[in-house]
Structure 1
Amino acid sequence: MNSWIGLEGAVNVRDLGGLPTIDGGITRSGRVLRSDNLQALTDHDIDLLVGELKLRHVIDLRSGAEVSMEGPGPLRRRPEVTHHHLSFFAEGGRHTDVEADSIDLDKVLPWQERQIDEELRVTGFYFGYLRDRPDSVVGALRALSLDDGAAVVHCAAGKDRTGVVSALALEVAGATREAIIADYVATGERLELILGRLRSSATYRDDLDSRPADDHLPRPQYIQQFLGVLDDRFGGPLPWLRTHGWTEADTAALRGRLRD
């Protein structure tokens, strides 16, 4: 089901095309990609992405602190590529997070334990994205809908923040829940490589080393619970999006990107 894209400088890159939909179709390839961090892309990678795959939009879900510490990435040098920085953490401090003025910068990294409602304990930080930054969630999906070339959405590992956006995009496009779950867990196939890359960076190393690798595995029940709670509380992801300004035109645009 998953269309992996082999790059030298990123290890968790795949196309959201080729996934089955509830009406018997498949999602369109070559339009929306998902990825881990793009900091280490080589010239060959960039030629493939921008030249052959016609990449025109990068949706960067990292916090402002991550971008500051890691850098914006080599795709910034390509004028035909538009970057959309949409942090999934609350902004407001001098660096990025509302807490960043009073605590260490590692507190704004994606896997740092955060205060969450007890009832949402298992996948609470996914709902934290929706609670804290609905504007970035909607903005990321709108950026994926732009119709002037391929788009890639990424964070650090390409697992959690990217997994939520990918799941919502596929839901809007009419992919089956089974396909959405399969796409989410596919990152587990590359987990060792992903963690190896992130441990090479001081930005992420200490946090990763404080937990066993198995804690980072994307398990099907995580995304199942996330989507199930949206179903139970809002009637599905689309009604939640509508409460935050998502329109029928937005739905049509995203479906047009991912459907024939």
Structure 2
Amino acid sequence: MTSTRTDRWLHLDGTTNTRDLGGLPTVDGGETQFGRVLRSDNLQTLSEADVRTLVEEVGLTEVVDLRTTAEILMEGRSPLRDVDGVTHRHFTLLPERGMRTDVFAAEESDEEVRAQLPADWAESILPRQVAAGDEGEPPAVRSYLGYLTDGTENVLAALRSLASGGPGAAVVHCAAGKDRTGVVCALALSVAGVEPAAIIADYAQTAEVIEALVAKLAASPTYAEDMTGREIAVHTPRAETMRRVLDLLDERWGGPIGWLEAHGFGADEQAALRTRLRG
């Protein structure tokens, strides 16, 4: 079984699940490059030292935020929002309830915006939606297929942002950095030609930090009820989940690349994303 290198972890004060997508083997005998794309849990608790590490040492220039508007407003600003030269892009993969807005502009008057959120806004926070017709699949698999069905345009937009960004590094994140982030990163790594076994292993690697990750999210009122209301095993990513998603993409679309091409992510965009990850 393919394993991922332990030096891909980036140990920060304010995150639990940050790692580099470099060092992953590709089907043609190469590997992805370090310092191009990172994946992470949420970033609002970054310390000043974390910000220096990301900006000065890693060379971060782009944040791709996959959370909902409600999550961003309830959790507050990331300190990276105050750093010149770091661009933030927001592509929610979950259906938004109530108002739709420029979320980063809304941060400037977040108390007023929060007051306008509908009573059921919290239902849009966690990955509950499922793809129709896949009732026989495990819940996590159905959720991930749901991102591709309900969040198609934003999945593609996140990948396009990675493809067109640079020359600095980008970080893709959601709340935990395992579900929404896991799907977008799996597609990006597929475009880069990473071995399927390595894509699966990278997804499952979050299990190494799951206890600390759940504890971090449980400390936030936004996520506390979900984190404490279910056993930790429910939150733990399993290799067979991503393996099943990749198998279904193979069966239905000829693979992740087939799904992307069928939805308009063309050869030039694929080449740009491959270059971003591989150099």
Q: Same fold (TM over 0.5)?
A: yes
2:63 is aligned to 58
1:207 is aligned to 226
CA distance in structure 2 between the aligned counterparts of 1:217 and 1:103, rounded to whole angstroms: 29
1:156 is aligned to 175
Change beyond 3 A, Cα 1:115–1:238: closer
Tell me if 1:182 matches 2:187: no
Change beyond 3 A, Cα 1:29–1:232: same
Shift of 1:106: 2.0
CA distance in structure 2 between the aligned counterparts of 1:171 and 1:139, rounded to whole angstroms: 16
2:109 is aligned to none
Preserved contact between residue 112 and residue 207 of structure 1 (Cα < 8 Å): no
Structure 1 residue ranges, 4+ long, deviating more than 3 angstroms after superposition: 100-103, 111-117, 119-122
Shift of 1:121: 4.1
CA distance in structure 2 between the aligned counterparts of 1:130 and 1:111, rounded to whole angstroms: 12
Describe how 1:70-149 pairs up with structure 2 within 5 A.
70-91=75-96, 93-94=98-99, 104-112=120-128, 116-117=132-133, 118-122=135-139, 123-145=141-163, 146-149=165-168
For 2:20, the aligned partner's letter is D
Tell me if 1:26 matches 2:31: yes
1:8 is aligned to 13
Change beyond 3 A, Cα 1:233–1:256: same
Identity of counterpart residues, as a percentage?
48
Shift of 1:120: 3.8
CA distance in structure 1 between the aligned counterparts of 2:207 and 2:27, rounded to whole angstroms: 25
Change beyond 3 A, Cα 1:114–1:103: farther
RMSD across aligned C-alpha pairs, in angstroms? 1.8
CA distance in structure 2 between the aligned counterparts of 1:107 and 1:113, rounded to whole angstroms: 10
Preserved contact between residue 130 and residue 145 of structure 2 (Cα < 8 Å): no
**Which runs of 5 or more residues in structure 1 are unaligned?**
none
Aligned length: 257
Change beyond 3 A, Cα 1:249–1:113: closer
**Which runs of 5 or more residues in structure 2 are unaligned?**
102-115
Shift of 1:258: 1.3
Shift of 1:209: 1.3
Preserved contact between residue 36 and residue 276 of structure 2 (Cα < 8 Å): yes
Deviates more, 1:160-169 or 1:102-111: 102-111
The secondary structure found in structure 1 opposite 2:123 is helix
Change beyond 3 A, Cα 1:173–1:113: closer
Shift of 1:92: 5.7
Answer 1 or 2: which has greater helix percent. 2
